């Protein structure tokens, strides 16, 4: 059976409007439609880089206690978290260096566990 969902931990984390920090999440494999739909969006037509925001909002199925990951949530990510998620997306969808991505996420969790002790 193919793995379709992958856990991740953001380097910094997303701060919601009530200052709650959300770092752990789940990203699913992208389907063709996930990369096609953003091309129809007027925001992408005026700014092609915005496609990344829409794609990530579609494939991130869970982030902390948030009910939904919308494009507005992705817009609020710190730059290092956005970069991390772009790399993670490429790794899980192209299956290149997949073990490295999972190892990085696990290493971050291990460091947090040690720091919390």
Tokens 């291990």 found at: 110
Burial class (CB in 10 A: 0-12, 13-18, 19+), 100: exposed
Instruction: Please give the biggest Cα pair distance in the chain.
Output: 49
What six digits make up the tokens of 30?
A: 């992208």
Question: Residue 52's pLDDT is what?
Answer: 96
Tell me how far apart the alpha carbons of residues 9 and 25 are, in angstroms, rounded to a whole number: 6
In sequence order, which ranges of the chain are alpha helices (DSSP H)? 32-36, 42-46, 50-59, 71-75, 79-94, 98-116
- List, in sequence order, every residue forming a beta bridge with 26; answer none if it has no partner: 7, 62
pTM above 0.85, yes or no: no
Question: Residue 101's pLDDT is what?
Answer: 56
What six digits make up the tokens of 15?
A: 């701060």
Question: Residue 2's pLDDT is what?
Answer: 87
pLDDT tens over the chain, length 117 residues: 889 999 999 999 999 999 999 999 999 999 999 999 999 999 999 999 999 999 999 999 999 999 999 999 999 999 999 999 999 999 999 955 555 656 666 666 666 666 665
Question: Residue 6's pLDDT is what?
Answer: 97
């Amino acid at each position: 059976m193919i793995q379709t969902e992958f856990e991740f931990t953001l380097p910094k984390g997303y701060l919601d409007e009530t200052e709650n920090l959300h770092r752990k999440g789940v990203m699913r494999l992208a389907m063709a439609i996930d990369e096609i739909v953003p091309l129809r969006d007027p925001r992408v037509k005026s700014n092609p880089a915005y496609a990344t925001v829409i794609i990530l909002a579609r494939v991130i199925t869970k982030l902390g206690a948030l009910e939904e990951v919308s494009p507005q949530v992705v817009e609020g990510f710190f730059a290092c978290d956005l970069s991390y998620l772009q790399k993670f997306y490429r790794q899980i969808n192209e299956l290149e260096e997949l073990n490295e991505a999972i190892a990085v996420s696990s290493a971050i969790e291990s460091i947090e566990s040690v720091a919390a002790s």
